[in-house]
Structure 1
């Protein structure tokens, strides 16, 4: 009987790696397709958000409010015990909101008056909600008992004689934007500095404002 040896068949699949590479290629394509879909979705969401913000800004047409000080009323301005200055001054802060759909909610605030670098008096006005297209007069009573030594007294006497008294009125007020009387947005802080020159600081005499410069600062 002839010698016959059993030779196992060689399966082409063991040596052919095309199927392996094809499987990896499908996985890679699927991963790239998923990444592309995610990026496109995020890009679309970003475009929608930008368009929504742009349309909101266009519709609301936000404008910066303006402030002014038109009136001072000196109730009391006297030196006591030789070194203390007692003051009681009524200041009218005029606030104008030019926005139609945005109201301004004025929260707890600080108002002070300084002369020659020293704070003479301070006060505040009540929290107020100012609607759109409105001008509001905010009455502030400034009271104080400040140190007022001989040097400052001589300087004030000199300014009084010249009829040229420089003052600085400082306002710090947090404001919250209110849209359509319903949506309350994040508040921001407004600082208003009014450098003015008046002709007199005598009690019960309305001073004349000779010069006035206002500066604004807005921050979160």
Structure 2
């Protein structure tokens, strides 16, 4: 009876079976790459020993320093422009500058004849009137001036204005002698005669380039140059005859 009541142990069927040490860690039907750590997938391959590239950025301090320098430079330039404008405005209000006026009042032909070698010898005396309408501004006419008279594209004569000082509200009349030598003057003389027969007058162009110094009160400004262009229409060009100027107009321009 004792043998019949002996209890034999029975294995627990509800506990899960233990995995075999040789069982694969990857489930059936899936690849190993499907369960790789995503962080490890994006790591660069450093198997060849190459160092990773680090992208550096320009420091913000350099950029801000450059911007400050540019702002300071623009501010200084703007300030200088404002100061110069104020000074010019004050000078304009004090001196009330006006441009001088020039006119050609007379032209005398002293020589205009052909030589034996067909060159044309010309000589003019030009009466120039210069007016300075300013109350507090004087004009120094410096040396180195050049005056020329042209017919079409041919220069007939040239001369220069002597040095002198023109005071306030002054009118000065100058007689400027001019001379020239034109090669192959036969063709030029024939063209002048034909022009006179067809129209009854001859157009001329007078050009002047004069260096001057302007005096504001007791202050002398640096030397500058001005140019004058005068268009003339005369009735003839012949020696020892009275030349009448039918039209005359001049333009004046300063050049620093």
Residues 44 and 151 of structure 1: is their aligned pair in 2 closer, same or farther, counting only changes over 3 Å? closer
Deviating runs (4+, > 3 A) in structure 1?
42-53
1:99 CA displacement: 0.6
C-alpha separation in 2, matches of 1:215 and 1:49: 28
2 CA distance for matches of 1:45 and 1:165?
52
Q: Cα gap change, 1:99/1:81 in structure 2, threshold over 3 Å: closer, same or farther? A: same
Structure 2: gaps (5+ residues): 1-76
Q: 1:98 aligns with which of 133, 144, 148?
A: 133
TM-score of the pair, normalised by structure 1: 0.74
Asked if structure 1 preserves the Cα contact closer than 8 Å seen for 2:235 and 2:244, the reply is yes
For 1:85, which of 113, 116, 120 is the aligned residue? 120
Q: Does the 8 Å contact 2:103/2:248 carry over to 1?
A: no
Q: Tell me how far 1:116 sits from its aligned partner.
A: 2.2
1:201 aligns to what? Answer: 237
Helix, strand or coil at the partner of 1:186: coil
CA displacement 1:69-122 (0-9 Å, x = unmatched)? 011111111111252111111001111111111001111210111112111111
- Structure 1 212/50 Cα, relative in aligned 2: closer, same or farther at 3 Å? closer
**Is 1:62 paired with 2:97?**
yes
Other-structure match for 2:51: none
Structure 1 residues without counterparts, runs of 5 or longer:
1-41
Larger radius of gyration: 2
- Whose helix proportion is higher, 1 or 2? 1
- Deviation at residue 65 of structure 1 after TM alignment: 0.8
* Cα 1:44–1:173 shift into 2, 3 Å: closer
Question: What is the DSSP-based 3-state SS (H/G/I as helix, E as strand, rest coil) of the residue aligned with 2:191?
Answer: helix
Distance in 1, Cα, partners of 2:84 & 2:152: 51
Q: CA deviation at 1:44?
A: 9.1
Q: How much has 1:148 moved relative to structure 2? A: 3.7
Q: State TM-score, norm by structure 2.
A: 0.64
Task: Work out the CA distance in 2 between the residues paired with 1:43 and 1:151.
Answer: 60
Residues 1:163 and 2:200 aligned together: yes
RMSD of aligned Cα (Å):
2.4
How many corresponding residue pairs?
180
What does 1:1-220 correspond to in 2, within 5 Å?
Answer: 50-81=85-116, 83-108=118-143, 109-161=145-197, 162-180=199-217, 182-220=218-256
Equivalent residues of 2:120, 2:186 under 8 A apart? no
Whole-angstrom distance in 2 between the partners of 1:88 and 1:140: 11
Deviations 1:45-67 (CA, angstroms, capped at 9, x unpaired): 98776544422220100111111
Supply the distance in 2 between the matched residues of 1:168 and 1:49 (Cα, whole angstroms): 38
Give per-residue Cα distances to partners, 1:134-183, cap 9 Å, x unaligned.
Answer: 11112210111111443322211112334311111111101110122x31
SS of the residue 1:156 aligns to? helix
**Structure-2 separation of matches of 1:44 and 1:120:** 51
